[in-house]
Amino acid sequence: MVRATDTAVMLRGAANLVPVRCAYVDMDGTLLGPGGCLFAGSEGEFTALGARAIEVCLRSGVEVVVMSGRRRAVAVEDARLFGQDSCIFEIGAGLVMEGETYWLTGDWQPDERSIHEQIDQSGAPALLLEEYSGCLEVHAPWHTGREVSHLLRGMVDTGEAEEFLASHGHEDLELSDNGAVRRRSPALAELDEVHAYHLRPRGVSKAAAVAAHQRMRGFEPEECIAVGDSREDLRVAGVVGEFWLVANALERDPELAGAIAGLDHVRVAEEPHGAGVYEAIVTSIKGA
Protein backbone atom coordinates (compact mmCIF):
# COMPACT_ATOMS: atom_id res chain seq x y z
CA MET A 1 0.00 0.00 0.00
CA VAL A 2 1.20 3.54 -0.79
CA ARG A 3 1.49 5.73 2.32
CA ALA A 4 0.94 9.47 2.56
CA THR A 5 4.42 9.95 4.00
CA ASP A 6 5.95 8.60 0.79
CA THR A 7 4.63 11.45 -1.36
CA ALA A 8 7.65 13.77 -1.32
CA VAL A 9 10.01 10.92 -2.17
CA MET A 10 7.87 9.81 -5.09
CA LEU A 11 7.52 13.31 -6.48
CA ARG A 12 11.26 13.83 -6.72
CA GLY A 13 12.20 12.94 -10.26
CA ALA A 14 8.66 11.78 -11.05
CA ALA A 15 8.79 13.42 -14.48
CA ASN A 16 11.70 11.11 -15.38
CA LEU A 17 9.76 8.02 -14.39
CA VAL A 18 6.36 8.27 -16.10
CA PRO A 19 5.25 11.13 -18.36
CA VAL A 20 1.75 11.37 -16.90
CA ARG A 21 0.22 14.60 -18.17
CA CYS A 22 -3.42 14.20 -17.21
CA ALA A 23 -5.56 12.30 -14.70
CA TYR A 24 -9.30 11.89 -15.35
CA VAL A 25 -11.03 11.31 -12.02
CA ASP A 26 -14.62 10.34 -11.29
CA MET A 27 -16.20 12.00 -8.26
CA ASP A 28 -19.11 10.17 -6.58
CA GLY A 29 -18.11 6.68 -5.47
CA THR A 30 -14.50 7.28 -6.49
CA LEU A 31 -12.72 10.35 -5.12
CA LEU A 32 -15.62 11.10 -2.77
CA GLY A 33 -16.64 8.83 0.08
CA PRO A 34 -20.13 8.26 1.53
CA GLY A 35 -22.34 11.32 1.40
CA GLY A 36 -20.15 12.87 -1.29
CA CYS A 37 -17.51 13.80 1.31
CA LEU A 38 -13.91 14.24 0.18
CA PHE A 39 -12.65 13.35 3.66
CA ALA A 40 -14.78 10.23 4.32
CA GLY A 41 -13.65 6.63 3.91
CA SER A 42 -15.95 3.69 3.19
CA GLU A 43 -16.98 3.37 6.83
CA GLY A 44 -17.25 7.09 7.41
CA GLU A 45 -13.79 7.36 8.96
CA PHE A 46 -11.69 10.46 8.35
CA THR A 47 -9.10 10.34 5.57
CA ALA A 48 -7.19 13.12 3.82
CA LEU A 49 -5.81 10.89 1.06
CA GLY A 50 -8.33 12.04 -1.54
CA ALA A 51 -7.14 15.61 -1.09
CA ARG A 52 -3.54 14.40 -1.07
CA ALA A 53 -4.15 12.73 -4.45
CA ILE A 54 -5.05 16.10 -5.95
CA GLU A 55 -2.04 17.67 -4.25
CA VAL A 56 0.26 15.07 -5.81
CA CYS A 57 -1.10 15.95 -9.26
CA LEU A 58 -0.73 19.68 -8.74
CA ARG A 59 2.82 19.36 -7.44
CA SER A 60 3.71 17.08 -10.35
CA GLY A 61 2.21 19.30 -13.06
CA VAL A 62 -0.47 16.72 -13.89
CA GLU A 63 -3.77 18.18 -15.07
CA VAL A 64 -6.80 16.86 -13.16
CA VAL A 65 -10.04 16.58 -15.10
CA VAL A 66 -13.23 15.85 -13.21
CA MET A 67 -15.28 13.33 -15.24
CA SER A 68 -18.66 13.21 -13.59
CA GLY A 69 -22.32 12.47 -13.96
CA ARG A 70 -22.94 15.69 -12.08
CA ARG A 71 -24.51 18.80 -13.59
CA ARG A 72 -22.32 21.29 -15.44
CA ALA A 73 -22.47 23.96 -12.73
CA VAL A 74 -21.45 21.45 -10.05
CA ALA A 75 -18.66 19.89 -12.11
CA VAL A 76 -17.25 23.34 -12.91
CA GLU A 77 -17.16 24.18 -9.20
CA ASP A 78 -15.51 20.83 -8.43
CA ALA A 79 -12.81 21.60 -10.98
CA ARG A 80 -12.38 25.14 -9.63
CA LEU A 81 -11.80 23.78 -6.11
CA PHE A 82 -8.91 21.75 -7.55
CA GLY A 83 -7.50 24.76 -9.40
CA GLN A 84 -8.45 23.33 -12.81
CA ASP A 85 -10.26 24.81 -15.81
CA SER A 86 -11.55 21.66 -17.50
CA CYS A 87 -14.27 19.19 -16.55
CA ILE A 88 -16.51 16.57 -18.11
CA PHE A 89 -20.12 16.77 -16.97
CA GLU A 90 -23.35 14.79 -17.20
CA ILE A 91 -21.51 11.53 -17.92
CA GLY A 92 -19.78 12.87 -21.03
CA ALA A 93 -22.55 14.99 -22.54
CA GLY A 94 -20.35 18.04 -22.40
CA LEU A 95 -16.85 19.31 -21.81
CA VAL A 96 -15.92 22.65 -20.26
CA MET A 97 -12.47 23.99 -21.06
CA GLU A 98 -11.18 27.45 -20.19
CA GLY A 99 -14.72 28.77 -19.75
CA GLU A 100 -16.10 27.39 -23.03
CA THR A 101 -18.70 24.60 -23.16
CA TYR A 102 -18.51 21.97 -25.89
CA TRP A 103 -21.60 19.80 -26.38
CA LEU A 104 -20.73 16.20 -27.29
CA THR A 105 -24.29 15.12 -27.99
CA GLY A 106 -24.32 14.61 -31.76
CA ASP A 107 -27.58 15.61 -33.41
CA TRP A 108 -29.10 16.49 -30.07
CA GLN A 109 -28.22 20.15 -29.54
CA PRO A 110 -29.72 22.80 -27.25
CA ASP A 111 -31.97 25.36 -28.91
CA GLU A 112 -34.71 27.27 -27.12
CA ARG A 113 -35.03 24.03 -25.14
CA SER A 114 -32.33 22.17 -23.32
CA ILE A 115 -31.47 18.66 -24.49
CA HIS A 116 -32.95 17.42 -21.21
CA GLU A 117 -36.24 19.07 -22.10
CA GLN A 118 -36.12 17.61 -25.62
CA ILE A 119 -35.63 14.10 -24.23
CA ASP A 120 -38.45 14.64 -21.74
CA GLN A 121 -40.80 15.80 -24.50
CA SER A 122 -39.95 12.70 -26.54
CA GLY A 123 -41.78 10.64 -23.92
CA ALA A 124 -38.88 8.23 -23.41
CA PRO A 125 -38.33 8.86 -19.66
CA ALA A 126 -42.00 8.36 -18.81
CA LEU A 127 -42.08 5.24 -20.97
CA LEU A 128 -39.14 3.70 -19.10
CA LEU A 129 -40.51 4.57 -15.67
CA GLU A 130 -43.85 3.00 -16.53
CA GLU A 131 -42.33 -0.18 -18.01
CA TYR A 132 -39.95 -0.70 -15.10
CA SER A 133 -42.19 0.46 -12.27
CA GLY A 134 -40.85 -0.97 -9.01
CA CYS A 135 -37.37 -1.35 -10.51
CA LEU A 136 -36.66 2.19 -11.66
CA GLU A 137 -37.38 5.67 -10.37
CA VAL A 138 -36.14 9.24 -10.65
CA HIS A 139 -32.87 9.71 -8.75
CA ALA A 140 -34.16 12.48 -6.50
CA PRO A 141 -33.01 15.00 -5.46
CA TRP A 142 -30.12 15.04 -7.97
CA HIS A 143 -32.34 14.83 -11.06
CA THR A 144 -33.14 18.55 -11.13
CA GLY A 145 -31.29 21.30 -12.98
CA ARG A 146 -29.85 18.96 -15.58
CA GLU A 147 -29.24 20.04 -19.17
CA VAL A 148 -28.91 16.69 -20.94
CA SER A 149 -29.32 13.32 -19.26
CA HIS A 150 -32.25 12.09 -17.21
CA LEU A 151 -30.94 10.67 -13.93
CA LEU A 152 -32.66 7.52 -12.71
CA ARG A 153 -31.95 4.83 -10.11
CA GLY A 154 -32.92 1.21 -9.61
CA MET A 155 -31.84 -2.10 -11.10
CA VAL A 156 -32.48 -2.95 -14.74
CA ASP A 157 -30.75 -4.69 -17.63
CA THR A 158 -29.55 -1.75 -19.73
CA GLY A 159 -29.42 -3.81 -22.93
CA GLU A 160 -33.00 -4.93 -22.46
CA ALA A 161 -34.10 -1.39 -21.62
CA GLU A 162 -32.48 -0.01 -24.77
CA GLU A 163 -34.19 -2.67 -26.90
CA PHE A 164 -37.47 -1.63 -25.33
CA LEU A 165 -36.77 2.03 -26.12
CA ALA A 166 -35.79 1.22 -29.70
CA SER A 167 -39.00 -0.76 -30.20
CA HIS A 168 -40.89 2.43 -29.31
CA GLY A 169 -38.96 4.69 -31.68
CA HIS A 170 -36.22 5.87 -29.33
CA GLU A 171 -33.20 4.16 -30.88
CA ASP A 172 -31.30 7.47 -30.66
CA LEU A 173 -31.22 7.21 -26.84
CA GLU A 174 -29.33 4.87 -24.52
CA LEU A 175 -29.33 4.00 -20.83
CA SER A 176 -25.93 3.90 -19.13
CA ASP A 177 -25.03 2.39 -15.76
CA ASN A 178 -23.02 4.83 -13.64
CA GLY A 179 -22.51 2.55 -10.65
CA ALA A 180 -24.04 1.64 -7.32
CA VAL A 181 -25.68 4.28 -5.12
CA ARG A 182 -27.01 4.27 -1.57
CA ARG A 183 -30.14 6.42 -1.94
CA ARG A 184 -33.48 4.75 -2.71
CA SER A 185 -37.15 5.26 -1.93
CA PRO A 186 -39.39 2.69 -0.19
CA ALA A 187 -40.63 1.68 -3.65
CA LEU A 188 -37.21 0.11 -4.35
CA ALA A 189 -36.74 -1.41 -0.90
CA GLU A 190 -36.88 -4.99 -2.19
CA LEU A 191 -34.02 -4.57 -4.66
CA ASP A 192 -30.72 -6.20 -3.66
CA GLU A 193 -28.81 -3.17 -4.88
CA VAL A 194 -29.49 0.13 -6.60
CA HIS A 195 -27.53 1.73 -9.45
CA ALA A 196 -27.66 5.18 -10.99
CA TYR A 197 -28.62 5.33 -14.67
CA HIS A 198 -28.41 8.11 -17.22
CA LEU A 199 -30.84 8.27 -20.12
CA ARG A 200 -28.85 10.20 -22.72
CA PRO A 201 -28.31 10.62 -26.47
CA ARG A 202 -26.72 7.58 -28.07
CA GLY A 203 -22.98 7.93 -28.52
CA VAL A 204 -22.45 10.11 -25.44
CA SER A 205 -19.91 8.66 -23.01
CA LYS A 206 -17.18 9.63 -20.61
CA ALA A 207 -14.74 7.81 -22.92
CA ALA A 208 -15.71 9.99 -25.89
CA ALA A 209 -15.39 13.12 -23.76
CA VAL A 210 -11.96 12.07 -22.49
CA ALA A 211 -10.82 11.49 -26.08
CA ALA A 212 -12.14 14.92 -27.06
CA HIS A 213 -10.24 16.58 -24.21
CA GLN A 214 -7.05 14.76 -25.21
CA ARG A 215 -7.35 16.00 -28.80
CA MET A 216 -7.93 19.57 -27.67
CA ARG A 217 -4.97 19.49 -25.27
CA GLY A 218 -2.68 17.54 -27.58
CA PHE A 219 -2.28 14.66 -25.13
CA GLU A 220 -1.53 11.11 -26.23
CA PRO A 221 -3.64 8.37 -24.57
CA GLU A 222 -0.52 6.75 -23.07
CA GLU A 223 0.21 10.04 -21.26
CA CYS A 224 -3.11 9.87 -19.43
CA ILE A 225 -4.59 7.85 -16.60
CA ALA A 226 -8.13 7.59 -15.26
CA VAL A 227 -9.75 6.43 -12.03
CA GLY A 228 -13.37 5.36 -11.56
CA ASP A 229 -15.81 2.97 -9.94
CA SER A 230 -18.43 2.02 -12.53
CA ARG A 231 -19.03 0.28 -15.85
CA GLU A 232 -19.35 3.68 -17.50
CA ASP A 233 -15.99 4.70 -16.07
CA LEU A 234 -14.43 1.43 -17.25
CA ARG A 235 -15.14 2.39 -20.87
CA VAL A 236 -12.52 5.12 -20.43
CA ALA A 237 -9.90 2.34 -20.24
CA GLY A 238 -10.03 2.23 -24.03
CA VAL A 239 -8.66 5.77 -24.39
CA VAL A 240 -6.02 6.06 -21.64
CA GLY A 241 -2.67 4.41 -20.95
CA GLU A 242 -3.69 3.17 -17.50
CA PHE A 243 -7.06 2.83 -15.85
CA TRP A 244 -7.78 2.17 -12.19
CA LEU A 245 -10.86 0.98 -10.35
CA VAL A 246 -11.04 1.88 -6.66
CA ALA A 247 -11.51 -1.12 -4.36
CA ASN A 248 -15.12 -0.31 -3.50
CA ALA A 249 -16.07 -0.67 -7.19
CA LEU A 250 -15.68 -4.44 -7.07
CA GLU A 251 -17.16 -4.65 -3.60
CA ARG A 252 -20.40 -3.14 -4.86
CA ASP A 253 -20.35 -4.69 -8.35
CA PRO A 254 -18.43 -8.01 -8.25
CA GLU A 255 -19.19 -8.67 -11.93
CA LEU A 256 -16.71 -5.93 -12.83
CA ALA A 257 -13.98 -8.49 -12.13
CA GLY A 258 -15.04 -10.42 -15.21
CA ALA A 259 -15.25 -7.25 -17.29
CA ILE A 260 -11.60 -6.39 -16.62
CA ALA A 261 -10.19 -9.88 -17.09
CA GLY A 262 -7.36 -9.81 -19.62
CA LEU A 263 -7.06 -6.02 -19.65
CA ASP A 264 -3.42 -5.56 -18.69
CA HIS A 265 -3.61 -1.78 -18.35
CA VAL A 266 -6.57 -1.92 -15.95
CA ARG A 267 -5.65 -2.11 -12.27
CA VAL A 268 -7.65 -2.36 -9.06
CA ALA A 269 -6.56 -0.29 -6.08
CA GLU A 270 -6.22 -1.96 -2.72
CA GLU A 271 -8.01 0.97 -1.10
CA PRO A 272 -11.50 2.44 -1.64
CA HIS A 273 -12.58 5.96 -2.57
CA GLY A 274 -10.08 8.78 -2.03
CA ALA A 275 -7.40 6.48 -0.63
CA GLY A 276 -7.71 4.37 -3.77
CA VAL A 277 -7.37 7.45 -5.97
CA TYR A 278 -4.26 8.44 -4.05
CA GLU A 279 -2.84 4.95 -4.55
CA ALA A 280 -3.57 5.09 -8.27
CA ILE A 281 -2.14 8.58 -8.79
CA VAL A 282 1.09 8.02 -6.86
CA THR A 283 1.68 4.56 -8.30
CA SER A 284 1.16 5.78 -11.88
CA ILE A 285 3.39 8.82 -11.45
CA LYS A 286 6.06 6.68 -9.85
CA GLY A 287 5.80 4.16 -12.67
CA ALA A 288 5.42 1.22 -10.31
pLDDT at 288: 64
The pLDDT mean for the chain works out to 92
Residue 237 β-bridge partners: none
Domain limit, last residue, from 169, 201, 233: 201
Residue 15 has pLDDT above 60, yes or no: no
Domain limit, last residue, from 133, 166, 201: 201
- Mean pLDDT confidence for 200-218: 98
Q: Does residue 278 share a domain with residue 156? A: no
Q: Does residue 64 share a domain with residue 129? A: no
pLDDT in tens, 143-186: 999 999 999 999 999 999 999 999 999 999 999 998 888 889 99
CA distance 154 to 41: 24
User: Edge to edge, what strands does the sheet with 63-67 contain?
Assistant: 100-103, 94-97, 86-89, 63-67, 22-25, 224-228, 242-245, 266-268
Q: Confidence class of residue 102 from pLDDT cuts 50, 70 and 90?
A: very high
CA distance 185 to 222: 42
* CA-to-CA dists, residue 220 to 13, 19, 21, angstroms: 21, 10, 9
CA distance 68 to 119: 20
Percent of the chain with pLDDT over 70: 93
Q: Roughly what angle, to the nearest 10 degrees, separates helices 115-122 and 124-131?
A: 50
SS3 of 173, please? Answer: strand
CA distance 161 to 186: 22
Percent of the chain with pLDDT over 90: 88
Look up residue 203 and give its DSSP letter.
T
Q: Does residue 166 share a domain with residue 24? A: no
Q: How many CA atoms lie less than 13 Å away from 258 in the CB half-sphere?
A: 3
Cis check: omega of the bond before 34, within 30 degrees of 0: no
Domain that holds residue 73: 18-104+205-286
Residue 71 β-bridge partners: none
Q: Does residue 71 share a domain with residue 191? A: no
The answer to whether residue 13 sits within a structural domain is no
Q: Does residue 66 share a domain with residue 26? A: yes
The answer to whether residue 41 sits within a structural domain is yes
Q: Confidence class of residue 18 from pLDDT cuts 50, 70 and 90?
A: very low
Structural domain count of the chain? 2
Domain limit, last residue, from 182, 201, 220: 201
